[in-house]
Chain A
């Protein structure tokens, strides 16, 4: 039982870290893609990814993901122009 608890705890920790890294990586990639772009959609993408990182900092990973998804939509629009 003890081993099972430790295993569950380890998996949970791993999952939390993986999610956090994912948000950070996505934000970093996005900022790099939009470097020098001063358009509205580029600013929107950056602002929303900041919100995502902020929410991730509050351990709201699902919310952070939703904001990052929205940020990436704006990144696409910025890059299409």
Chain B
């Protein structure tokens, strides 16, 4: 009988030592901090799936901890690990995706000549980071980030109207390039309208290969020529 009592006590103590709610509660705080960091890095936009997974796991972990049993604490520990991993992935994804903001070229100061007056060049907002799928007007997922920054700019500068100008390199037929660039300009315009920019502030035009800014003979040059710009009207 004595042996049984000792064995029972040992088992009970063993179970209690495995059951460490305070440690797990602090782990839960750690998860919440990690989630907040991912959120601050913009994870709702750049890693929504990972952020959601982290939040759902942390909520379930909190529930399991409230259940007050060794099995539930084990479950909670696993969920906490999942949540930490997911929020870490979200943070990394957002840091990788962080790209320089679209470059806004300053308005050139019009040069005043004594006899011939030249019109000032229009302000051009270069959309570096807007890409399409090959031979298509479908925007890649990464492009939406750049375009979302453009939406912010256009919402701040409510007084401007812009032309979405799409350009291609010289590969392929000129007529096809003109057609494709038109579709791409329209796709960008549609995205901006969808995000709340008034349609009457935006026009779209495809210039095809007509206005290269670099040498089409080199790969780098062709990459520079395939571009989308916003021309302030």
B is bound to A: yes
Q: Is the interface of B mostly helix, strand, loop or mixed?
A: helix
Number of A-B contacts (CB under 8 A): 37
Interface string of A14-42 (1 = CB under 8 A from B): 00000000000000000000000011101
For B52, the chain A residues whose CB sits under 8 A away are 40, 43-44, 46-47
Q: How many residues of B contact A (CB 8 A)?
A: 14
In the bound complex, residues from chain A placing their C-beta under 8 Å from that of B44 are 40
CA distance A46 to B55 in the complex (A): 12
Instruction: Please encode chain B, from 116 to 153, with 1 for each CB lying within 8 Å of some chain A CB and 0 for all others.
Output: 00000000000000000000000000000000000000
User: Which residue of B48, B51, B52, B53 has the most chain A CB atoms within 10 A of its CB atom?
Assistant: B52
B1 vs chain A, min Cβ distance (A): 37
Complex partner residue of B53 from A38, A42, A47, A63, CB under 8 angstroms? A47
Task: Give Cα A40–Cα B126 distance, bound, in whole angstroms.
Answer: 28
- B43: chain A residues at CB < 8 Å are 40
A48 to B230, CA, bound (A): 41
B56–A50 touching, CB < 8 Å: yes
Q: Are B51 and A40 in contact (CB under 8 A)?
A: yes
- Please tell me if the beta carbons of B48 and A38 are within 8 angstroms of each other in the complex: yes
Nearest-neighbour CB distance to chain A for B203, whole angstroms, equals 26
In the complex, what residue of chain B is closest to A47 when comparing beta carbons?
A: B56
Contacts of A46 in B (CB 8 A): 52
Fill in one digit per residue for B28-61: 1 if any A CB lies within 8 Å of its CB, else 0.
0000000000000001110011011101110110
Are A48 and B48 interface neighbours, CB within 8 A? no
- Residues on B lying within 8 angstroms of A by beta carbon are 43-45, 48-49, 51-53, 55-57, 59-60, 63
